[in-house]
């Protein structure tokens, strides 16, 4: 049976009737690949769908220097199956100790495309993240001067703030002050999940001297299609748990409106985050949805529900390269309107398995091999 999206607490508006869709080859502007055997297991799923991806640096230990990013990139390239075309775009992990000199080295590097801000304790492997931006003024000034983007996990971690409100608080308590103090800073507000974030990016993004927006946002497929009801449908659903967590329906609608608006400051970022099945289905399960194997199928489904398939190419293939100042990809992908069932689980590292997002469900769109 085809997954009934509206039964899981989401919008079921009228869609278009296209049976096939061909778009310029897309990119993923927010991706977790892990490392070692785990990375080798999940890399082909992304390379099948995307030509490039911004790779997150939250390994153990975190990727904090240009040399570490270079080495990580080499490991990714070495793990790529023969015949697959894929370019990893690297990032550095911002810490309280990151120096301006390291930022300048990153800006001069041909493969580092951004610096990642994790508030300490906000998500997976964020323990080494920033305790307070007051300790990062030299690094932020260097980012502003070089134009290298700051990629933001936008949640406060204060114990008194409700988990569903952490993003909205981050806008007022962190985003507004840092952009006021560093007005030339280029920022990507990653995996936004709220109406407040969508509105902030829509109205507060400005064109820089190079004609590019100085504020942009990525949006995941799960936050376009589902609200927080999906976490509890038929019992607690660990494979739907990610951070930032799914929000109310009003927020999902605002995200879908932003993604399908045609505005260039919104673009695709899956936040695909692989964890072995047993680590998701334990007493304290890991946060993250492994969406890489079904990413473009889910984005097509979301855009079709909004009657905006004609704007998927901009969101998936055009806006991200424009923001990062990179060339558009050559070639294309094709999606067909035909039902198929997502595998319930897939092989993973150490003889374990991993459950793809919507594993066992039937989807209406399929990427043509």
Q: Which residues are catalytic?
A: 271
Sort 151 into a burial class: Cβ within 10 Å, 0-12 / 13-18 / 19+.
buried
Residue 16: Cβ within 10 Å count: 14
**Burial environment of residue 189 by CB neighbours within 10 A (0 to 12, 13 to 18, 19 or more):** buried
Alpha-carbon distance of 56 to 291, in angstroms, equals 15
Q: In whole angstroms, give the CA distance from residue 326 to residue 312.
A: 19
């Amino acid at each position: 049976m085809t997954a009934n999206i509206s039964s899981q607490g989401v919008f079921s508006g009228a869609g278009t009737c296209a049976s096939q869709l061909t778009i310029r080859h897309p990119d993923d502007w927010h991706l977790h690949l892990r490392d070692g055997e785990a990375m080798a297991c999940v890399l082909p799923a992304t390379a099948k769908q995307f030509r490039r991806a911004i790779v997150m640096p939250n390994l153990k230990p975190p990727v904090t220097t240009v040399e570490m990013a270079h080495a990580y990139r080499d490991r990714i390239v070495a793990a790529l199956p023969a015949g697959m075309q894929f370019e990893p775009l690297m990032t550095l992990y911002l810490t309280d100790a990151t120096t301006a000199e390291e930022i300048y080295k990153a800006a001069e590097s041909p493969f580092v495309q951004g610096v990642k801000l994790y508030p300490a304790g906000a998500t997976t492997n964020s323990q080494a993240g920033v305790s307070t931006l007051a300790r990062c003024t030299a690094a932020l000034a260097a980012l502003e001067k070089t134009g290298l983007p700051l990629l933001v996990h936008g949640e406060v971690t204060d114990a008194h703030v409700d988990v569903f409100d952490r993003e909205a608080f981050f806008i007022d308590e962190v985003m507004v002050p840092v952009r006021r103090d560093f007005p030339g800073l280029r920022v990507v507000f990653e995996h936004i999940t709220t109406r407040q974030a969508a509105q902030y990016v829509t109205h507060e993004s400005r064109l820089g001297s190079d004609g590019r927006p100085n504020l942009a946002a990525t949006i995941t497929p799960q936050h376009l299609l589902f609200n927080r009801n999906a976490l509890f449908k038929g019992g607690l659903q660990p494979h739907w748990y990610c951070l930032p967590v799914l929000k109310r329906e009003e927020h999902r609608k605002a995200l879908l409106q932003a993604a399908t608006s045609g505005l260039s400051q919104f673009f695709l970022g899956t936040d695909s985050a692989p964890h072995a099945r047993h680590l998701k289905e334990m007493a304290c399960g890991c946060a993250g949805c492994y969406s890489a194997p079904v990413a473009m199928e889910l984005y097509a489904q979301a855009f079709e529900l909004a009657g905006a398939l004609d704007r998927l190419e901009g969101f998936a293939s055009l806006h991200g390269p424009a923001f990062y100042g990179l060339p558009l990809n050559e070639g294309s992908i094709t999606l067909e309107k035909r039902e198929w069932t997502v595998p319930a689980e897939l092989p993973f590292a150490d003889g374990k398995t991993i459950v793809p997002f919507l594993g066992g469900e039937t989807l209406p769109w399929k990427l043509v091999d």
